[in-house]
Amino acid sequence: MHKTPKSPRKPPLLTRAFAFNGGFFTQKITRRILTLAGYKIVIGWPKAREQVIVWGNSPTAHRGRTVAKKTGAQIVTVEDAFLRSLFPAKLNQEPPLGLLIDHKGIHFDPTTPCELEEILLYDPLDDGAILARARASMTRIVQNHLSKYAAIDLDIPCPQAGYVLVIDQALNDASVTASKGNAALFAEMLYYAQEEHPNARILIKSHPETNSGLRSGYYGPEHCQSDRITLMQDPISPFSLMEGAIAVYTVSSQVGFEAIMMGHKPRVFGQPFYAGWGLSDDQFPVQRRQRKLTRAQLFAAAMILYPKWYDPYRDRLCQLEEVLATLEAETRAWREDRQGWSADHIRLWKRKHFQDFFGRYQKMTFSSTPTPHKPHMIWAGKAGEYAGCVRVEDGFIRSKGLGAELVPPLSLVCDDMGIYYDPTRQSRLEHLLNTAADLRPDQRDRAAKLCERLIASHLSKYNLSGETYALAEGRKILVPGQVEDDASILKGTSSIRTNLALLQSVRESNPDAIIVYKPHPDVETGLRLGKLSPDDAKKYADIIANKGDAIALIDAVDEVHTMTSLMGFEALIRGKQVTTYGTPFYAGWGLTTDLGKRPSRRHNRIDLERLVHTALIDYPRYFDPLTKRACPIEVVLDRIEQSTIPKPRLSTRLLAKTQGIFASYAHLWR
């Protein structure tokens, strides 16, 4: 059961909508979306001009339609939006991410113009900003394989390209019967596919609900008597299939709309909403649809202007882009976690959190021996030269509190190649940066807004408060201390690998600068190695900022000099000059002054937005502790800013205090 955070806003003035279908009362998220859209679902008998709400052409819709006819009430039709969820509702009752609410008709019923059709007919659809959003969103949907039901296995191999793709649908589905579809029409479509492409293979793609055993389709093995025809029942991505198709045939499936997104002109034998606008080859045209539209215009109407999209993390209506971010996070989690994980070297106090993070679809097992048919993860610092494992480590926006104090992480990175702090071998992050293409405008805008938010809210990896310091005029350099036995030091440094050696080198190279030394918080609490005596630190530093606020210090200085500290990355985000003495993940790309070794592999030259997008959006995974589901980074920032992160359990807090008392015996639990 999903937990939905309560919205603090005042409720809107609601219009009563009389329902005669129990689902409007029992399906909480559906009812919540309708409430946010301005409807109060009630039981009773409507007056003339009041509203009766029905679910599409469902088996119970006739009840509401009968009442509306008797009373003169207006019909409001509701359907799932074109991006719904990971799975069909019948499979696991997963709530929708959006609804289509229509006062005039139903998008799949051509007998009466619906509100979507009126948008397509009469709206100018010439707003440059909306069309740019449409083009960017189409690209995101195609690249991330986000269909109506987005739990798509990308590991299933595609057939050899050059086939004709014929789309099956669920038997007697409302979208089929509304287009006067039946078994004869599907047989006719298959006939035309063969006749119009006599030398091509025919690939029939079955419906997801048919694959799940929920509903029958129109095609079966009996339609594959010819060697040319193959029935594809594997849950393969429709976008992967369309990439290899030379033609696409459908009656009224949403896959026809997705084919248009990919540049196909599908052959359509029904009368779905996307037919009739010059983007499809229609066997039975809808005569009133004479307007010619572009793909972006069709998409803008159907996906941006028409639906009511829902944000499950913040309990509010939202824009399409937020739904795409939600689905990107959730589909990534499903694709990586669906087989389950076995895991090694995950400390006892973290295991419940790891179950929440990675075990939603299959329970994790914790064992030093990999479990057959499951990927195996190991805490990166303990992985050594393990082959065939995925290394896991904290992400760069981790939590509000220290890992050494047993505060669970809100972000983790899973790296199947190496790990970001080890420059001796290529990591997945380094690979992404090396192969980075130019950002799309929407990606660049998201990365820029993320930087702006991090700066404005003073957010960092641990988000600890601290003291501020008044610094004298002059060139100011911040030197962050590090944990000296940390893996990033052991793997990412050579000649300079201690805090004292770093301070000495910075002072020798910058004799007239004001040097501020910020000890690492884990070291200051006595939990990790690397503490300097005040006398040693003061030989080289002008200010020892023991309790300093890390982000305030970055803001106050001109430069940051570091071995491998993440504070160098945080300084880049804030426009500071950064000098590295080791090889952190952000060094070697043309953004820093590098005094350490730069791997020759890092040949790409990138800008800050590319680095931020890759390191904070593409590479890590994020987890919302309130809804207990995968989420985009923006949700984690909300939780940190609003201090809505649940506190660790009492037993965990007591264990953290005990570790602090016995810090000198840390090897017993690390």
Rounded to 5°, the CA angle 401-528-493 comes to 105
Domain ranges of the chain: 147-291
Least confident interval from 83-97, 350-364, 603-617: 83-97
Angle between helices 320-337 and 351-358 (to 10 degrees): 120
Q: Could you give phi then psi for residue 467, rounded to 5 degrees?
A: -85, 155
pLDDT band at residue 643, thresholds of 50, 70 and 90? confident
Any alpha helices (H) in 105-252, and if so which ranges? 115-122, 128-143, 174-177, 183-196, 208-211, 238-243
The pLDDT value recorded for residue 314 is 97
Any alpha helices (H) in 147-277, and if so which ranges? 174-177, 183-196, 208-211, 238-243, 254-261
Q: Which amino acid is at 527?
A: L
Per-residue buried b or exposed e for 314-339, using 16+ beta carbons within 10 Å of the residue's own CB:
bbbbbebbbbbbbbbbbbebbbbbee
**pLDDT tens-digit readout, 535-561:** 999 999 999 999 899 999 999 999 999
Are the C-beta atoms of 608 and 436 separated by less than 8 Å? no
Report the largest interatomic distance among the alpha carbons of the chain, rounded to a whole angstrom: 90
Task: Write down the CATH number for the domain with range 147-291.
Answer: 3.40.50
The pLDDT value recorded for residue 660 is 47
Work out the average pLDDT over 435-455: 95
pLDDT band at residue 663, thresholds of 50, 70 and 90? very low
pLDDT band at residue 568, thresholds of 50, 70 and 90? very high
- Write down the number of H helices and E strands in the chain: 25, 26
- Name the pairing type of β-strands 201-205 and 229-232: parallel
Work out the average pLDDT over 430-435: 96
Q: CB under 8 Å, gap of 24 or more: what pairs does 84-88 form?
A: 84/148, 84/149, 85/149, 85/150, 86/149, 86/150, 86/151, 86/330, 86/331, 86/334, 87/149, 87/151, 88/149, 88/208, 88/209, 88/212, 88/214
Structure tokens at 641: 């800013």
The pLDDT value recorded for residue 644 is 82
**pLDDT tens-digit readout, 263-300:** 999 999 999 999 999 999 999 999 999 999 999 999 99
The pLDDT value recorded for residue 6 is 55
Are the C-beta atoms of 577 and 593 separated by less than 8 Å? yes
- Torsion over CA of 396, 399, 402 and 406, rounded to 10 degrees? -120
The pLDDT value recorded for residue 661 is 45
Instruction: Please tell me the pTM assigned to this model.
Output: 0.93
Cβ-based neighbour number of residue 389 at 10 Å: 20
Rounded to 5°, the CA angle 278-284-285 comes to 35
**pLDDT tens-digit readout, 158-208:** 999 999 999 999 999 999 999 999 999 999 999 999 999 999 999 999 998
Angle between helices 441-457 and 566-573 (to 10 degrees): 110
Q: Could you give phi then psi for residue 39, rounded to 5 degrees?
A: -120, 135
Are the C-beta atoms of 61 and 34 separated by less than 8 Å? no
Task: Encode 320-350 in three state secondary structure.
Answer: HHHHHHHHHHHHHHHHHHCCCCEEECCCHHH
CA pair distance 86, 151, nearest whole angstrom: 5
CA pair distance 406, 652, nearest whole angstrom: 7
